[in-house]
C-alpha cells in the first residue's frame, strides 16, 4: 500500500445573480497533518477579488465574493497530497472520559440543527450500548446505518434532519453523515460533520462523512461505503450541514450548474480504511 497519494481536484460552479449579490464559498481543501495542498487556485469569470476569511487551523475556510447581476463562474483547482494516517491498532483509539475533553471538543457533544442527538439517547444505548467503546462502537454505528438506511436520492432534501432520515429509512451521504454524528453524540462521543471531495465517488459531487473524537484526535468515518476513505479530501468540518454548506448566498443567487472531477495522479490502489484514520 502506498504511503501517500496525490489527487487533482477541478470544481466549476456557475451561478446566476438576478441582482447584485454575494456568496460565502466553502469549497477549498484545508491543510492538515495528513493532507497537504501542493498547489491551488480559485478564479471567477468576472475578475473580482475574493475575500479570504481567517482560516482556523484544520477547520473551515471561506472565500467571499460580492458580484454584480449576471453569470458568475467559480472555478477551483488544487493538487493535494494525502498521507495515509491510520492508527495501527483500533484498540489504541479509545473514547475519552467526557471530563477530560479539550474545551474546543466539548461543543461537538451537543445536538445541532440536523443532528438531534438528544432524541436518540435511548435508541443509541439499546443498539450500540453493548459494543466495545471506541472504534468498535463507531464501526458498529456505521454498519447499522449502512444496513438499515437506503442510499436513495430524492427522498430527503436540504432541510432533512437525522431523526427524519431515520424515520424515512432513506437518504444521501449528507443524511448518512448526520445520522452517524447523531448516534455518536447520543452515546457521549464527540462527533462532527465533514464535507469534502472523494476519489471514485460513483457520481461526481461533493461528499459528506463525519469525524469522531477517539484516542485524542478526530478520526473520520463514512457509513455510505460509496468510495474509499483514503481518497477523501477534507474541505470543512462543523456541527452539521448547517455550518459546512458549500455556499451561503444572498437571495438573488441561483446555482446553474456544477462540475466536479477528482483524479489520482499517483499509481496504486486507493483503499477503504479498515482502521480509524485521521486527516
Q: How many residues does the chain have?
A: 279
226 binds a copy of itself per the rule CB under 8 A: no
Q: Which helix (H) or strand (E) holds 279?
A: none
Q: Does the protein bind a copy of itself through residue 120 (CB under 8 A)?
A: yes
Q: How far is the CB of 175 from a copy of itself (least distance, A)?
A: 13
CB atoms near residue 272 (< 10 Å): 12
Which grid coordinates are listed for 26? 466553502
Residue 200 in the binding site for a copy of itself (CB under 8 A): no
To the nearest whole angstrom, how small is the minimum distance from the Cβ of residue 232 to a copy of itself? 23
Q: Between 246 and 265, how does the x/- string for binding to a copy of itself read (CB under 8 A)?
A: --x-x---------------
- Using CB under 8 A, which of 167, 254, 257, 274 touches a copy of itself? 167
Nearer to a copy of itself, 22 or 146 (CB): 22
Tell me the C-alpha to C-alpha distance, in Å, between residue 223 and each of 38, 71, 135, 185, 186: 29, 37, 13, 16, 17
We find the least distance from the C-beta atom of residue 52 to a copy of itself, in angstroms, to be 10
For residue 235, what is the enclosing H or E element?
A: strand 232-238
Cα(23)–Cα(67) distance, integer angstroms: 8
Per rule CB under 8 A, is residue 273 in the interface with a copy of itself?
no
Give the whole-angstrom CA distance, residue 175 versus residue 166. 9
Min CB(132)–a copy of itself separation in Å: 19
Q: Could you give the string, one character per residue 66-105, with x where binding to a copy of itself holds by CB under 8 A and - elsewhere?
A: x------------------------------xxxx-xxx-
- 51 binds a copy of itself, rule: CB under 8 A: yes
Please give the DSSP secondary-structure letter assigned to residue 102: -
Q: Which of 229, 235, 233, 234 is nearest to 270 (CA)?
A: 229
Is residue 1 within 8 Å of 83, Cβ to Cβ? no
Query: Which listed residue (13, 74, 163, 179) binds a copy of itself by CB under 8 A?
Result: 163
Query: Which of 7, 15, 62, 221 is in the footprint of a copy of itself by CB under 8 A?
Result: 62
Which residue in the set 19, 110, 257, 269 belongs to the binding site for a copy of itself (CB under 8 A)? 110
Are 234 and 194 a contacting pair, CB within 8 Å?
Answer: yes
Total binding residues for a copy of itself by CB under 8 A?
48
Contact 197, 232 (CB under 8 A): yes
Q: Which of residues 12-31 bind a copy of itself (CB under 8 A)?
A: 22, 24
Q: Which residues pair with 208 in a beta bridge?
A: 195
* Long-range contacts from 164-171, C-beta under 8 angstroms, 24+ separation: 166/120
Residue ranges in contact with a copy of itself by CB under 8 A:
22, 24, 51, 53-56, 62, 64-66, 97-100, 102-104, 106-107, 109-113, 115-116, 118-120, 122-123, 126, 148, 150, 159, 163, 166-170, 238-239, 242-243, 248, 250
Amino acid at each position: 500500500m502506498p504511503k501517500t497519494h496525490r489527487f487533482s481536484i477541478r470544481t466549476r460552479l456557475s451561478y446566476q445573480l438576478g441582482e447584485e449579490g454575494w456568496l460565502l464559498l466553502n469549497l477549498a481543501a484545508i491543510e492538515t497533518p495528513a493532507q497537504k495542498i501542493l498547489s491551488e487556485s480559485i478564479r471567477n469569470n468576472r475578475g473580482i477579488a475574493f475575500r479570504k476569511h481567517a482560516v482556523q487551523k484544520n477547520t473551515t475556510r471561506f472565500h467571499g465574493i460580492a458580484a454584480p447581476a449576471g453569470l458568475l463562474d467559480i472555478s477551483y483547482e488544487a493538487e493535494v497530497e494525502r498521507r495515509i494516517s491510520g492508527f495501527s491498532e483500533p484498540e489504541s483509539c479509545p473514547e475519552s472520559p467526557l471530563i477530560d475533553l479539550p474545551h474546543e471538543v466539548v461543543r461537538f457533544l451537543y445536538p445541532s440543527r440536523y443532528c438531534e442527538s438528544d432524541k436518540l439517547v435511548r435508541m443509541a444505548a439499546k443498539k450500540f450500548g453493548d459494543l466495545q467503546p471506541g472504534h468498535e462502537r463507531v464501526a458498529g454505528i456505521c454498519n447499522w446505518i449502512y444496513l438499515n438506511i437506503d442510499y436513495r436520492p430524492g427522498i430527503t432534501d436540504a432541510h432533512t434532519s437525522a431523526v427524519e432520515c431515520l424515520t424515512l429509512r432513506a437518504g444521501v451521504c449528507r443524511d448518512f453523515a448526520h445520522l452517524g454524528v447523531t448516534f455518536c453524540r447520543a452515546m457521549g462521543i464527540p462527533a462532527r460533520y465533514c464535507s469534502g471531495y472523494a476519489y471514485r465517488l460513483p457520481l461526481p459531487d461533493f461528499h459528506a462523512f463525519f469525524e469522531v473524537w477517539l484516542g485524542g484526535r478526530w478520526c473520520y468515518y463514512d457509513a455510505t461505503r460509496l468510495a474509499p476513505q483514503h481518497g477523501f479530501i477534507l474541505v470543512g468540518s462543523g456541527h452539521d450541514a448547517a455550518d459546512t454548506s458549500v455556499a451561503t448566498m444572498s437571495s438573488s443567487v441561483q446555482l446553474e450548474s456544477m462540475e466536479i472531477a477528482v483524479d489520482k495522479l499517483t499509481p496504486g490502489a486507493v483503499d477503504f480504511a479498515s482502521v480509524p484514520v485521521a486527516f
